[in-house]
Structure 1
């Protein structure tokens, strides 16, 4: 299985999409770095900044429109979705462009200064009222989760048959990449042992909450973008942030914050471990498909060295 290649399209096609929805005048159309599954371009129109994203994954942005409405209505700095559509086999979305640059471009000191605000935003996302919806796992365009339980989602997400998704024929990775079947199975077995700790908790989860999807002006967080949004235990977002920024003592900062607020988190260690296994297992498969062997090795070693229940 070859590494995934993002879709490509001509500048004239991009210009036609923008003119269709926004009229003429789009300028400074520039490709943006980042975005592993989408081709993303920034542009300006009438002095305001926007982005347009293209993906060949079915229904790629329909849920993002729902999430955009959900989070922005709660005052969380997530870009508003202005238009969705298709051009040939590609889905596209036109979004507001948030100010700032990737948090990853900030110095370690600047990142540390913004950790309290990051934790506050993560907590606010987890507290978004999802009581009018049901289900776990992937969020559908109507706001409901696909699966009836967290366990059902975990099993389906790691099943061999992923026809029609990004992970179609992913078992080939055991033969064609650095993905090791015995390691994958070991971590999957551990993940299932921790399901009972995560399963009682149903929150909005960004699902890709790291410094490349967090925007900053160097002093404050200006926006949260993208996401592999699901319903589940919000500690999944904490695990993601910690694994991507291990030098920032994210877990200690989070626990200190909760302690100051007199909030006791039941089964915190077990829930966090389950979250590490869930995202880490997904990471192993993703890094193998992308050919990122160094990231694969670091994640593999971290997961195997976690305390086993």
Structure 2
């Protein structure tokens, strides 16, 4: 994260889009970046975010929007700052489960050539590695689970290594490589009047659709209307419930490294649920 003051970031953002800043307000969330709402001279609003890879986040937001799923329009970007369209966010996700099912199914209609993404990016001080692979268990093991091994305690290392070795028996070998949001929890889903109006803070790549299903289940419990809506367009494969614990491990390990041992019980429970 940049050490520039909020006011400096806001002024820089306004200048990037050729406007004068009238007022600013720090938005809730933004644990890993500074996010600010801007009031501009022409009466419009925008959102400024300073992050490590703003150009890469802009590319991901544009990929989401191109799918037809809602995402804020990218207004400007430089080497440290992303300026986006401001979207109303006055409702809660529990009022929009059915619409989220439709939105996510729409996102997942976009298919990639292989599993992966064309560049690395970061969450806080953690680098998220990407490459291209033809085999999904290999991608999940090598790019999502194995990079955590040097950063966790030896007892967790042994169990995680056992799981990585067994992934070809646990995960589908070649599911459709769909466009994933990659960090789909309710803080990254904007809701207004019972509708999903924007997916934000993406960690996109092409992979198994169940990854996004797992992420939304990590801290929340989607209603039946979510699954009914999603499966109208994108039926889930048999046995997906068992695979969700394997996919939940990646964000749980990220949280463990970013926020400390308070997330260790979650990681150990997921490993236990996965049978290791």
Q: TM-score, normalised by structure 1?
A: 0.73
Alignment of 1:1-309 (within 5 A): 6-11=1-6, 13-45=8-40, 46-55=42-51, 57=52, 60-86=53-79, 91-101=80-90, 106=92, 111-128=93-110, 130-131=111-112, 134-140=113-119, 146-149=131-134, 150=136, 151-152=138-139, 154-159=141-146, 171=150, 173-174=151-152, 180-195=153-168, 197-201=171-175, 202-246=177-221, 248-249=222-223, 252-257=224-229, 261=232, 264-266=235-237, 268-269=238-239, 271-291=240-260, 293-301=261-269, 303-308=270-275
Distance in 2, Cα, partners of 1:192 & 1:272:
20
**Helix, strand or coil at the partner of 2:72:** coil
* Runs (4+) off by over 3 Å: 138-141, 156-160, 252-259, 261-266, 271-275, 293-296
Indicate how the Cα distance of structure 1 residues 234 and 39 shifts in structure 2: closer, same or farther if over 3 A, else same: same
For residues 31-54 of structure 1, give each alpha carbon's deviation from its aligned partner in whole angstroms, at most 9, with x where no partner exists. Answer: 222123221111122222211111
Indicate how the Cα distance of structure 1 residues 300 and 146 shifts in structure 2: closer, same or farther if over 3 A, else same: same
Give ranges in structure 2 of 5+ residues lacking alignment: 121-129
CA RMSD after TM alignment: 3.0
**Helix, strand or coil at the partner of 2:273:** coil
Give ranges in structure 1 of 5+ residues lacking alignment: 1-5, 161-166, 175-179
Counting matched residue pairs gives: 262
Distance in 2, Cα, partners of 1:64 & 1:214:
15
Distance in 2, Cα, partners of 1:240 & 1:67:
18
Q: TM-score, normalised by structure 2?
A: 0.80
